[in-house]
Amino acid sequence: MKLNHLNLITSEVAALAGFFTSHFGFELVAMRGKDAFAILRGADGFALNLMTPGKGKPSAYPDGSHVGFFVGSPELVHAKQAELTEAGFAPGEVEDLTRGGFKSTTFYCHAPGRILVEVGSAQA
């Protein structure tokens, strides 16, 4: 079984699509409505769909909800954090974490629409 897609609800579809295409290698496949629905595709074929909330529905996620990306080295984590800082986002500091015996180098950043994004890498 393979994870096929993820739908994210956001009031900032176009801005979030730009964030993922500019900084995470996604391709914009389609934008429908008045920036109400976007289909993005990753290099591996994974589909990331972005859509506005239904009328009268909130677009907030519970605390701790996030989208995680794993890169090949701690150096790439630091490079991505610097890239997002340079682009005007306010990523958190890079941290060395141990969770469940797994050591990682990680940071978090709020993307447009207050979507929390994690970037991490295993430590040697």
Q: How many Å apart are CA 6 and CA 44, to the nearest integer?
A: 14
Q: Would you say the C-alpha torsion 57, 51, 36, 88 has a positive or negative sign?
A: positive
Low-confidence ranges of the chain (pLDDT < 70): 56, 58
8-state DSSP, 24: S
pLDDT (tens digit, 9 = 90+) per residue, 72-85?
999 999 999 999 99
Q: How many Å apart are CA 60 and CA 118, to the nearest integer?
A: 17
Measured CA distances, 115 to 12, 50, 93, 109 (Å): 10, 11, 17, 8
Measured CA distances, 29 to 4, 87, 107 (Å): 15, 23, 28
CATH code that applies to domain 1-54:
3.10.180.10
**Which pLDDT score, from 0 to 100, does residue 88 have?**
97
Residues of the chain with CATH 3.10.180.10: 1-54, 65-124
End-to-end Cα, the chain, rounded Å: 29
Q: How many Å apart are CA 76 and CA 47, to the nearest integer?
A: 23
CATH architecture entry for 65-124: Roll (3.10)
**Which pLDDT score, from 0 to 100, does residue 12 have?**
94
**Which pLDDT score, from 0 to 100, does residue 103 have?**
94
Whole-prediction pTM = 0.92
